[in-house]
Structure 1
Amino acid sequence: MKHAALTGISPAVIAELKNGRARTLELTSAHNIITLTEAAPGECIFVTSVNEEDLSPGDPGIMVDLLALNIGMRRIEVANSFFYEERERMSARIKVQFRGITLTRDVEGRKWGDPTKVEIVRSACYRAG
């Protein structure tokens, strides 16, 4: 079974998620937002600190349960004495909870604009929670 993969996540964030508490993350990288467009709350997602272009079979990561998902546009206004600038930034806010540690078995979605999906190695040991 293929799972959405969030890549390039900070090792500190992954360590925090391993504590077992649900956490809310804000993601701004385009490849992760594209991947989340095909995800829905209740699904299991693979999270790794490995960059998208380097992701390959055997890379470590964690599985998390996607509890909430919100993708939206945020307006940022910058003003100084010479000009007034308005920018928009797309971001995804997700609430996730740790499920277990795993490895990738297969990776797909290498073209720009395709969601990153991985097949994982099923763990023989699960976290009691």
Structure 2
Amino acid sequence: MEYVALTGISDLVMSELKNHQLRTIEIRTPQNFFTALNVDAGDTVFLTHTSIHDLTRGTTGLIAKVIKHQLSTHRTITGNDMFFEEHETMMIRLQLQTKGIARISKVLSSDVGKETRVVAEDMCFYEAR
């Protein structure tokens, strides 16, 4: 099945997603941000701790359903008597419900600045090594 892929997810987050059925993650990295922009509630995504540059056939990860998708902007203003500096960042919050484990059979797109897409097959727990 074809999935949007979020890559470079920390081992701690991956472990939390494996152990709990529902978790919210924040997406701030540019590559995952571009990918997550096109995800809506109800879509299914593939998550892996592997970086986008190392994404290949055989890479394992989790399949999760997107329950909520929220885009937010944070603005910070700092300054003194001489100058003011404004900094604005955007992030996406995804509330995910873990569905299972999968292995990539084909990488469809992994270009920087574009949506990362893979074809992955569900795995039985005894196959997950």
Classify the TM-score, shorter chain.
0.7 to 0.9
Partner residue in 1 for 2:8: 8
AA aligned opposite 1:25: I
Alignment partner of 2:86: what SS?
Answer: strand
AA aligned opposite 2:55: L
The structural deviation recorded for 1:20 is: 2.5
The structural deviation recorded for 1:92 is: 0.6
Partner residue in 1 for 2:85: 85
The structural deviation recorded for 1:42 is: 0.8
Q: Distance in 2 between matches of 1:108 and 1:82?
A: 51
Give the TM-score, by structure 2 length. 0.88
Partner residue in 2 for 1:107: 107
Check the 8 A contact 2:101/2:124 in 1, yes or no: no
Give the TM-score, by structure 1 length. 0.88
Check the 8 A contact 2:55/2:107 in 1, yes or no: yes
The structural deviation recorded for 1:22 is: 1.0
The unaligned stretches of length 5 or more in structure 1 are none
AA aligned opposite 2:97: Q
Q: Distance in 2 between matches of 1:108 and 1:4?
A: 10
The structural deviation recorded for 1:101 is: 1.1
Partner residue in 2 for 1:27: 27
Partner residue in 2 for 1:95: 95
RMSD of Structure 2 on Structure 1 (CA): 1.5
CA deviations over 1:9-61 (Å, ceiling 9, x no partner): 00110101111231111110111111112211111110000011111110111
Q: Distance in 2 between matches of 1:9 and 1:102?
A: 15
Name the % identity: 31
Q: Distance in 2 between matches of 1:32 and 1:58?
A: 20
The unaligned stretches of length 5 or more in structure 2 are none
